[in-house]
Structure 1
Amino acid sequence: MLSLTDDVEWVAREYIPVPESYSEDAYHIAIAVINEVDYLLSWNFKHIVRRKTRDIVRMVNTLNNLRQIEIMAPAELL
């Protein structure tokens, strides 16, 4: 089980424009990144599996020397 840590809190705040009213999605991504998950599969096309979110996550992770994660729909993994 992956947990909510101070690092997750910090990274999630960096992702908040994912969009801000859906901050739980930012936490979902942050938990995966901090726990070094390679792929995040989601059916949430509105907030998580979209180009803008992927770009924000890639930028935040690069600027903060965090591990990159592949965010994708389950069909993309096949």
Structure 2
Amino acid sequence: MRNLEKIYLDTSVFSAFYDSKTPQRQEQTVQFWNKLSQYQNFISTIVIDEINAVSDVALKQKLLALTQNHFQILAVTQDSEYLAKQYVQEGIFPLKYFDDALHLATASINQIDIVLSWNFAHFVKRKTRILANLVNNKAGYRSVEIIAPPEL
């Protein structure tokens, strides 16, 4: 049996699956979805909470359905909250976007190989990759790759 890479999807990847306002991103997300069997797939309770906050009931149900079958759900722990606070203190994520820091911290403490996101504002950018991995390494966690779905 081969060792599959562990990937973590943040909520933006689920949202893009049904977002017809950005057809290219939607198409790339659907294409990526067809590759899920090649990986060990993870989300967290944060993803579920963010989907449950969607006001459009029909969309919420479709998004929740996407979380079924393919994903192991990771819990947010004190360790992940502590690491997320470190990201904020180091200026990697603004406090206003603490949940973004929490996504990355939860993935990091669970030894996820790759975090996938469409969030280019706070997540998928060079500064975040470099600084978050410095914080991870200092805290005793390994580096994690942060990319958009088409890069996988």
- Above 0.5 in TM-score? yes
Which consecutive unaligned segments of at least 5 residues does structure 2 have? 1-72
- Aligned partner of 2:122 in structure 1 is 47
Q: Which of 41, 62, 84 is residue 12 of structure 1 equivalent to? A: 84
Aligned length in residues: 77
Find runs of 4+ consecutive structure 1 residues off by over 3 angstroms: none
Give me the whole-angstrom Cα distance separating, in 1, the residues matched to 2:124 and 2:94: 12
**Deviation by residue 1:17-42 (Cα, 9 ceiling, x = unmatched):** 21232111000000101111111000
Computed over aligned residues only, the root mean square deviation of the Cα atoms, in angstroms, reads 1.0
Identity of aligned residues (%): 47
CA contact (8 A) 2:133 2:143 kept: yes
Is the contact between residue 87 and residue 101 of structure 2 (CA under 8 Å) also seen in structure 1?
Answer: yes
Task: Name the CA distance, whole Å, in 1 between partners of 2:142 and 2:112.
Answer: 9
Structure 1 residue 73: Cα displacement: 0.8
**TM-score, scaled relative to structure 1:** 0.91
1:1-78 → structure 2 map (5 Å cutoff): 1-16=73-88, 17=91, 18-77=93-152
Say which structure is richer in strand.
2
TM-score, length of structure 2 as denominator length: 0.49
Quote the Cα distance in structure 1 between the aligned partners of 2:151 and 2:86.
26
